[in-house]
Amino acid sequence: MGVDLRMAMRNFATGVCVMTTYADGPNGRTHDGVTVNSLTSVSLDPPLVSVCLRRDSTFLADLLDTKVWALSILDISATDVARAFAQKREIRAAALHTLSATPGEDTGALVLDSPAWLECRLRQHVDVGDHTVVVGDVIATGAQRGRRPPLVFLHGEYHAGRCQQQTEEAVK
């Protein structure tokens, strides 16, 4: 049997985030953000997360310079946001201007108005295959009570995850 990783992983439901960083140049700070679903919680003590980024990504190059980033976890109202940040850099830059986003206090990376966010500082990065795994210390987190279902990526499409209220009732 051959290997078709994409086909197999289409069946693995994930959450969706916008990951942001920036570049400081002669004309000031340029922010960028990309849609990612490879976020993994790696360690609780110390708090660490990882994200896999395409090795030839300009976003990755910026991140390896600044060594900081933010992750905003999206809900179903942000489907268009997820679509915009999976496009080329100019479209992403335009999207950042129209969104409600504020620089994170600890990193300066933009935090979107979203159910939860993390600010991270680079601890380690490893080139693996055609991607680079970045591992970051989580230096700040925030959450607001979610009123909407989380955004879920499955079978190459966006879906609404089960409502939080139902989940809370299920664990009571």
Ligand X SMILES: Cc1cc2nc3c(=O)[nH]c(=O)nc-3n(C[C@H](O)[C@H](O)[C@H](O)COP(=O)(O)O)c2cc1C
Question: Any contact of residue 86 with ligand X (CB under 6 A)?
Answer: yes
Task: Compute the least distance from the CB of residue 171 to ligand X, in Å.
Answer: 27
Task: Compute the least distance from the CB of residue 78 to ligand X, in Å.
Answer: 11
Question: Any contact of residue 132 with ligand X (CB under 6 A)?
Answer: no
One of 20, 21, 49, 53 touching ligand X (CB under 6 A): 53
Residues near 50 by Cβ (< 8 Å), separated by ≥ 6? 38, 39, 40, 42, 133, 134, 135, 136
Task: Compute the least distance from the CB of residue 41 to ligand X, in Å.
Answer: 14
Nearer to ligand X, 92 or 138 (CB): 92
Instruction: Confirm if 131 and 118 have CB atoms less than 8 A apart.
Output: no
Whole-Å CA distances, 78 to 50, 55, 93, 130, 169: 22, 26, 16, 28, 25
Task: Compute the least distance from the CB of residue 63 to ligand X, in Å.
Answer: 10
d(C-alpha 120, C-alpha 47), whole Å: 10
One of 10, 30, 42, 57 touching ligand X (CB under 6 A): 57
Stretches 80-88, 103-111, 138-146, 161-169: which one binds ligand X (CB under 6 A)? Answer: 80-88
Whole-Å CA distances, 108 to 59, 89, 117, 162: 16, 19, 13, 32
Binding site for ligand X (CB under 6 A): 16, 34-38, 52-54, 57-59, 85-87, 153
